[in-house]
Amino acid sequence: MSSICLYFQVHQPYRIRQYSFFNIGIESNYFDEELNITILNKVADKCYIPANKLMLELIQKSNKKFRIAFSISGVAIEQFEKYRPDVLDSFIRLAKTGCVEFLSETYYHSLSYVYSKPEFERQIELHREKIVEHFNQVPKVFRNTECIFDNQLAEDIYQLGFKGILAEGVPYLLQDRSPNQLYTNAIHSKIKVLLRNFILSDDIAFRFSNSSWSEYPLTANKYTQWLNVQRHSADCINLFMDYETIGEHQSKASGIFDFIEHFAKQICSKKGFQFHTPSEICEKYDIEGIYDANYTTSWADTERDLSAWIQNTMQQESLNKLYSFREDILSLKSKELLNQWSMLQSSDHFYYMSTKHWADGAVHQYFSPYSSPYDAYIYFINALSDLEIRIAREKANKGIH
């Protein structure tokens, strides 16, 4: 018997508006509410609403054999609360089936693990509160922003009380071993590490509607056969992807909804396979080996490292400057300043600044609301300059030096 672990990431950042140099010191509204609502509505209608409906039906019709996990960022939940309560309700209905696990992550979908451990912990706690509030469950498995992972993170997460963590199954760290079993990190031997099977995951997430792919079109039958091939050596096959894959990255016309439906039904009716959530996987299976991530990996780009967010000088400067404000921001105890500073932490802002292959019009630009990485940086750094001025003003007002 092998487990199939389906986990979907749900996240929408607060995108920064075209915040000009001439706004600095004058206007302090950094975010493009109109754009954010537009995108949220678009993705809600294409993906969240119809996909949640499908998931609910599959759970009900399979007698709860169909089981999935979500990680929903705090900022995405906030936006559902404000603009699309119907989406939030549909996630709550899924939670009530008992077949859906909600994972832990940083509230702001941030890179705080890399820049500030105390900030990282603050955001995990904030996120936990939000998940408990809406879904009435306490997350037991952690998933860091974009699957950013290393030995020390796994250790820190274990110390925070989590029993499992998700990571990318990076080939050069696996060294010919299978990603389809549980590992632990090289520091501790108790935390359970679930590794993403990136080939099988990306077959759906990236290649599904690519007509020049040799396996196109991908049918549920074919896909289940591929899983079958790996079954004899697999405890758990971890299929991790963005939830927006269903209906947004892969359009409805591509047949993605039908694919998911047939795939789920086939697995539920087949002997030898069962759906399990990450917590169930951690309960069910033992650690089979050590996954030694002695440097930091992620699920992004072909490099599978931090270079999507922290590579060029613009990204580095933005991040260093942003996190250098933390002490001041916390000491000022201004809810508004804290909130805006936190919203600026979403990893997306730095992803938009990436100049990697951008001349080829690659994946970073697909997601970016700006016409170039330089524009993304300029608006961000302008907003940050304004924040800096406000911090100084507040400090002066409060007589802090």
Q: What are the residues binding another protein (CB under 8 A)?
A: 20-22, 312-314, 316-318, 355, 358-359, 371-375, 377-378, 381-382
Q: In the annotation, is 146 catalytic?
A: yes
Instruction: Please state, in angstroms and rounded to a whole number, the distance separating the CA atoms of residues 179 and 233.
Output: 10
Which residues have a Cβ under 8 Å from the Cβ of 87 and sit 6 or more positions away? Answer: 44, 48, 49, 52, 80
C-alpha torsion angle, residues 207, 211, 213, 219 (rounded to 10):
70
Instruction: Please state, in angstroms and rounded to a whole number, the distance separating the CA atoms of residues 141 and 167.
Output: 11
Q: Least distance in Å: CB of 355 to another protein?
A: 5
From 78, 119, 146, 394, active-site residue? 146
C-alpha torsion angle, residues 242, 244, 245, 248 (rounded to 10):
-160
Q: Least distance in Å: CB of 297 to another protein?
A: 25
Instruction: Please state, in angstroms and rounded to a whole number, the distance separating the CA atoms of residues 257 and 255.
Output: 6
Cβ atoms of 63 and 94 closer than 8 Å? no
Nearer to another protein, 136 or 320 (CB): 320
Nearer to another protein, 238 or 382 (CB): 382
Nearer to another protein, 297 or 318 (CB): 318
Q: Least distance in Å: CB of 23 to another protein?
A: 9
What is the torsional sign of CA 368, 7, 118, 138? positive
φ and ψ of 240, to 5 deg: -110, 130
Nearer to another protein, 137 or 385 (CB): 385
Nearer to another protein, 285 or 358 (CB): 358
Q: Least distance in Å: CB of 316 to another protein?
A: 7
Which residues have a Cβ under 8 Å from the Cβ of 159 and sit 6 or more positions away? Answer: none
In the chain the first and final C-alpha atoms are separated, in Å, by 63
φ and ψ of 394, to 5 deg: -60, -40
Structure tokens at 396: 């002066």
Which residues have a Cβ under 8 Å from the Cβ of 365 and sit 6 or more positions away? Answer: 358
- For 374, the enclosing helix (H) or strand (E) is helix 373-397
Q: Least distance in Å: CB of 20 to another protein?
A: 5
Q: Interior CA angle at 159 toward 146 and 171, to 5°?
A: 40
Query: Looking at 38-186, which runs of residues are DSSP E strands?
Result: 68-72, 100-102, 141-142, 164-168, 182-184
Q: Least distance in Å: CB of 377 to another protein?
A: 6
Q: Least distance in Å: CB of 382 to another protein?
A: 8
Would you say how long the chain is, in residues?
Answer: 401
Active-site positions read 146
